[in-house]
Structure 1
């Protein structure tokens, strides 16, 4: 059994590890066009801020792969795939395979042509280039107020750069939170960065200073960071069933036998059966596990996607699970509650919970802002997976002690608010 893996990111690297766990004798080879083995791209904003050392985000070293008897070929790009002949063409020659795993990730998307001191934020090399630029700069424009754009903006502020953020949509975090929840986050961070909403970037001009032209204004800066999202890198996989990404089934198999895919280059069904592109490191790892096991003859399956996501921006914890309100296939019943992490007589912090469900009260999505947001969303993720209703969740017994938590958790109160709207 010979397994070839294209890409050594979170998906590809993980698939190699689990293929090896399942089959100690299989020949496993990874082709990675970059010069580094698997590292955490989710940690890149914290490398930029100086909170994390660059070398520490390498999750599995070249030596680790050698010990695992996995042949990692860095600086090697796969140029083409012969699906009929079961072989790949690389910059260093051709290789045959029995099973193939495609984990080519994603590439940055830009609304305009990047020129001059304009940077993307996708790789460790991007971060190093931005850090070098920041040492001689005072002002930056960040294009995009999504999760990455805001994390980058905070990192730049930490290293002494004034930041203006330009966002095309009416509110920040448009792919993560509903506008009513995103508004609460924006109000908390507005004094720390300058934010322009409802403004598309028309042009970026290069000069002694960079100039970003929007639909409403021109903003000068020393450099620009484009964080407007990524698009799946599927150029070598067009013969697979591709839409916006490589379509995979519950076994991470593509439309071609013996060919699997995982990570940011894929799309997979969510809890409503819709094929979605997520682009989360956590999903890439989970898909990598399934692809790796099945590539060597296993029978592992993915559950439908919940899209559980979280971040922490300017000290504010944010988390969500399930579709946005606008993307639900029905008008949801909503329970929303603004509470505190502790009883009123104990110093605590504000926490806001929004939970959504169908007409029968079945929970399908939730969003949380405040301390412990990720753990509360994890509880909602379990509730969605288990088919729980507002009523059932509202009756869950939760732990209480004044210095730790309130008598009744805010999540259960939000569900109690929602269940009273069920008819």
Structure 2
């Protein structure tokens, strides 16, 4: 049976092969006839024409494709050049920002979107004592002192300083004032009931009474009109006041006994004290005026301005405090012994251990700031310079024994003042010209 089946399969395959052979023979017999018919009727020219038409169409399509490819290539090159230039611009911007951050004196923290620290600048280590490696990946909450709860205050103000004038609150600037948070800074609410109208609010300084946290003090630079200027009156810089001008109120003291819910003014309640308050800040309220409360006595406060003043009656009256310097920016009062007061000013660092009866100046801190330096042609020559809040000085420099061998010499007063520039006659070095604030020459 198997043999019979194989024979049957073989016969089928042979029959199929024979059919294909007969078909091929038929095509071969018919091919000459077909060729004669095509050549006789001119079909070969039609085939050539069709072929050329097809070829031309393909060439056109190829040219269009090449043109499109060229445009795409040029577009990609242009986009790549644009991206490269943008990346280079961004790189330069980032390099500049990195340089600013790296050289800033203020502590700067950079976090990711989750609030974790990804980088800090060198000043951060100087200010906090933490190294960069110690804080990477951590939350800035590690800097919390734990010395106060989630409730605290912030003063905000708007101002514009125009040429030749101290800054003033501009029209429509009404967002200044005091803000309070009770949840560690997540949300803030205004706390301005009893303060001057928003259009008169300038700089705000704040402090809390450690002996009674319900008591909060604010020193506000008020731009409300205090009184008309007197004929021929000059301002604090000895500039004549314009006719029909007004003197602003300036420094005002406000106190809250309910943690900022409401405020009442404690200063300037009599004509005499009101007049004194208008000159107490000496126009510097907009720059650095601050207020500090004695750590044991909620009614004893200090205000920091050009000088330091102290009040024993919650701001009703003030007397000068001898424990400060000039242009006072910071004050620390010992929480255990409030007679110990440290003050930081443009004049340096001062301290008192007896409540201001006597004071000491810190030595060894090289904080003198020169605005400029000018040299004369004398022999030995002198270096002139104006010092922040300390006038102008000069010192003789004798380099006859070598630049590394000159001996220290005492400084002498020189013409000019703070912020002065000097021009010295090169032939007669004893003739010195100086220029200072508001067009003053000496």
Give the TM interval when normalised to the shorter protein.
under 0.3
TM-score for both structures, normalised by structure 1: 0.24
TM-score for both structures, normalised by structure 2: 0.23
Higher RCO structure (Cα 8 Å, ≥6 apart): 1
Greater Rg by CA: 2
